[in-house]
Amino acid sequence: MRLLFLAFIFLFSPFNFLYGKNNVSLQLKWKHQFQFAGFYMAKEKGFYDELNLNVKIDELQEKNPINSIINGSYDFAVGDSTIIFEKMSGKEITALLSIYQHSPMVLVGLEKNGLDHPRKLENKIIEIPKYSVGNIAIENLLINSRVNFIHKKPSFKIDDLINGKTDLISGYISNEPFRLKEKGFKSLIINPKDWGIDFYGDMLYTSNKFLKENPKIVENFHNATIKGWIYAFEHIEETVDLILEKYNTQGKSKKALIYEATKLKKLAGDLKNFGNLDPIKIRQIASNFSLQFENKFDFNKLDDFIYKNTNNKMFILNKEEELFLSQNNEFNVCTQYNFYPFDGVKSKKVIGIMGEYLNDISKLLNIKFNGIASNSNTQLNEKAKNGKCHLISSVSPESKRFKNYEVTTPFLWDDFWIISSIKVPVINVPDKIPKDRVFYVLFEVHKRLINDVYPELNIIVEKDIDKIMNIISKDEHTSFLSLGIYAERIIQKYGFDKFKVNEILTNAKISGGLAVNKDLDLLKNILNKTIIYLEKNKKFNQIRQRYILKEYKIEKSNTHLIYILGFLIFILIITLYKYHLTKMEKLKLQEKLNNKLNAEKSALIQLKTAGIFHVKNNHFLWTNEKFTKMLGFEKDEIIGQNIKNIYKKDKILEIKLFKQIKEKRTFSGEVVLIKKDKTNLIVDFSANALENKDFKQKDDFEFIGMIIDISQKKKQEIQLRELNENLEQKVKEQTREIREQALRDSLTKAYNRNAYNEKINELLNEYSRYNIFFSIIYVDLDDFKKINDTFGHHKGDEVLINFCEIVKEHIRVNDELYRMGGEEFAILLPNTKLETAKIVSNKLLELLRENLKIDDKTPITVSGGLVQVLKNDTAETIYKRVDELLYKSKKRGKNRITFCDE
């Protein structure tokens, strides 16, 4: 009996209700395997339990799990990049995190068949679902490669590949290669990522409705899931054993699960930033969908797609880093420039842009920064040498000035601005710079960076800014090359009437980060994580915008504009309503105009909202008080005055006004009157001629008039028009930005094949119409597959990025680089014949031989072809010719560029 009583108390106790767990459900996108291991570990290790969550994990129940999320059957689900497509199509969902930074979906073949390049797939049989959103990356790769392949419906049988019934199948890089290996066959992979088409893999998402109603549950599930995934990848064998014990519905072997885990861990990326979702990458993926499908997608729907966990730092410190911060929470920051608004020190605090940025870092890390000012570069060097500075506020990674310091991840990117005397005409860089012009800079690193891009500039380093400004004020052949971040303030300090920004060197850029004492390596790692987090939202630039001088400041918030527009529309509606009421009063007034003059005056005096007046022979006989107040006159100042003295001289208006009053006996329209203080007053002007009057002479007429002040209304109309124009401009800018993202390669930031297709057709059209020649250099990085196999894909990516940086720094201003796929690139040289193109290509080849290396040790070579456009060339024929020359270079021993006349 006692046991029954205790059970009753437990079941119905209010405390059990209060502390009961939140039941949530998760639907996977496939059957149980290591692909979903992080969820299993979060559940089994108690990470969900710690946050009061009871999680039910189900395998895929229906073909499109997004319906289960929208209708509330499940709270969370796993999808892939297709959820971006669904979001743009109108589904109300939010992406919480990306489990895999790169998609595992690839084309798999047999190594012995040698199909290692998309161009080799002509007339090959490929098993891939037709018109499948989930395979869009592979479809885009095949379309971009311009090959005609034989489509075959997937059989999901690996034996069809082995028996030669198909040449390639679409599958997971973590599964199909292992299945082939078990059967004794070596696999060969064609990965869209290697050809510039980089999609996310699995993504966790929920509905907007569930997020809105259960923000704390979503936050807890998000955080515990990240913890589970990090644990799973850091304890692969333990995780695999758990799957074998509880989740192995497919009957996979331990060896298969470990293989899968190893491959997927690489796709997950840096575990320190696990789950990261990049808005730029999401828009690039969205652009791929928009190019493939004809739907009219709304990219603005992606604005609320990424989950914003306001209570989570979104970066993870390891135990060593956390211990360091618990023992060290105060650091000295030496300011390098001490030039407001960039930085400065006041009451031992760093102020200005750097002060605000450091303040954001200190809030995230719960640490304190003490500012230390320096009156000169020598003094700063001495303090840094003596170890008084834990940090230096902003230092370029290229600077060699502080030998005992290392620079963090950059957060500042800036151009060099040319400051000159106000008398100096515009300087065209680098086309028409006189040889006697001298440019001053503050630092040696500035000179080095600028001369790398503009070697013809005569640059002198002078560390005293007062001396520089004195020189350029007196000598019109000199200028100062200042960083843009404080150029305007320099001009403000030394005089807007004496100096101006003459030009901007957009090709010479400098980056900057915090310089950290080498003895504080852990602090540098912590700051790198914090800066990466802050710069996801471009925090430094947000702060910088607040310090732009007001005369240059541009409001960039669309939301702010919308609020203003909404407010003005509201005011306009009220104004128009009042205006309508006033019009009704005017109609009433017109009905009384046939009464006697005294009766008219008596009635009109009652109209408080309008200025009323009586004119005879062009002179005022009477006005009401409102009329004189509106114009700023006393009544005795206006009576007897000629009406022509108070309206803005406009011959056409004058003829129209008096002609209509004489002939039609009425007038209504906008008129600009001149107030006593000589300012303008825009009014709605109405007049009605009095009856029984004969107009014998030009000025012999009499009328009653009324004016209503519409100056504010006109001002609002102008503001609305300007706001509309600004909004239209913003839309155009956003459209351009989205288009630019669609035409850029996400890894290297070079233009992609879509951009190449547009430009080549543009150049062919110019050649056809105006006979403007152009040339193409087509290059391929030699033995790139060996680089990936030997050093890893991350090093391969670094090589591609380094290659693009070298090329973009050294090609001419009008030349452009395009990533055609994988390790193949095209350089288009407009208005360039073959002989000039040979010089460009030889110079580029030498630069690459000297500078393109892995870890500054292992050299990487390139092979290429070079052609000039010929009569009747098409995009296909010119591509075929240059591609053939590239392969000639390969056959001749690589590390060369073959010309069309060789």
Q: Which two tokens stand for residue 539?
A: 């925090």
Rounded mean pLDDT of 726-748? 78
pLDDT above 70 for 557: no
Q: Are residues 38 and 175 in the same domain?
A: no
Show which of 511, 544, 560 is a domain's final residue: 511
Question: Which of 90-94, 364-368, 411-415 has the lowest average pLDDT?
Answer: 411-415
Q: Which two tokens stand for residue 209?
A: 């409705």
Write the single-letter amino acid at 15: F
pLDDT above 80 for 697: no
For residue 803, name the pLDDT band (cuts at 50, 70, 90).
Answer: very high
Indicate which CATH number applies to the domain containing 191. Answer: 3.40.190.10
Provide DSSP, 559-579: HHHHHHHHHHHHHHHHHHHHH
The whole-angstrom separation of Cα 200 and Cα 268 is: 10
Question: ∠ CA 386-387-390 to the nearest 5 degrees?
Answer: 150
Sign of the dihedral defined by the CA atoms of residues 358, 362, 363, 365, in that order = positive
For residue 17, name the pLDDT band (cuts at 50, 70, 90).
Answer: very low
Q: Are residues 783 and 875 in the same domain?
A: yes
Q: Are strands 438-441 and 459-461 parallel, antiparallel or unpaired?
A: parallel
| Tens of pLDDT, residues 203-216 | 999 999 999 999 99
Q: Are residues 673 and 791 in the same domain?
A: no
Q: Are residues 694 and 816 in the same domain?
A: no
Q: Are residues 789 and 885 in the same domain?
A: yes
Q: Are residues 692 and 796 in the same domain?
A: no
**Domains in the chain, number:** 5
| Tens of pLDDT, residues 601-620 | 444 444 456 888 888 888 88
377 located within any domain: no
Q: Are strands 858-859 and 150-152 parallel, antiparallel or unpaired?
A: unpaired
Residue labelled with tokens 């102020």: 351
DSSP type of residue 397:
T
Q: Are residues 155 and 80 in the same domain?
A: no
Length of the chain: 902
At residue 298, the pLDDT reads 67
Average pLDDT, the chain: 82
Burial class of residue 487, CB neighbours in 10 A (0-12, 13-18, 19+): buried
Q: Which two tokens stand for residue 889?
A: 């270079």
Q: Are residues 182 and 241 in the same domain?
A: no
Strand order from edge to edge, sheet including 702-709: 619-623, 611-616, 702-709, 680-689, 666-674
Q: Which two tokens stand for residue 453?
A: 């891009």
Q: Which two tokens stand for residue 825?
A: 């690139």
Q: Are residues 244 and 260 in the same domain?
A: yes
The whole-angstrom separation of Cα 204 and Cα 226 is: 11
Q: Which two tokens stand for residue 294?
A: 């004809």
Burial class of residue 666, CB neighbours in 10 A (0-12, 13-18, 19+): middle
Show which of 302, 323, 344 is a domain's final residue: 302
Rounded mean pLDDT of 156-162? 85
Residue 124 contacts residue 167 (beta carbons within 8 Å): yes
314 located within any domain: no
Q: Which two tokens stand for residue 400?
A: 């060699």
Q: Are residues 691 and 807 in the same domain?
A: no
Q: b/e map of 388-418 (b: 16 or more CB within 10 Å)?
A: ebbbbbbbbeebebbeebbbbbbbbebebbb
Q: Can you give the residue range of the structural domain that contains 680?
A: 613-714
Show which of 152, 171, 195 is a domain's final residue: 195
Nearest to 288 by CA among 182, 453, 106, 141: 141
Question: ∠ CA 655-660-666 to the nearest 5 degrees?
Answer: 140
More confident call, 668 vs 71: 71
| Tens of pLDDT, residues 288-326 | 776 666 555 666 788 789 997 654 445 667 778 888 988
Q: Which two tokens stand for residue 472?
A: 């350029």
Q: Are strands 897-899 and 862-868 parallel, antiparallel or unpaired?
A: parallel
The total of other beta-carbon atoms located within 10 Å of residue 716's CB is 17
Question: ∠ CA 597-602-608 to the nearest 5 degrees?
Answer: 125
711-742 helix and 558-591 helix, angle to the nearest 10 degrees: 150
Q: Are residues 647 and 780 in the same domain?
A: no
For residue 559, name the pLDDT band (cuts at 50, 70, 90).
Answer: very low
Question: Which of 147-156, 544-553, 667-676 has the lowest average pLDDT?
Answer: 544-553
Task: Please state the pTM of the whole predicted model.
Answer: 0.47
**CA 272 to each of CA 75, 76, 226, 317, 851: distance values in angstroms, whole numbers, following the listed order:** 27, 24, 10, 7, 31
417 located within any domain: yes
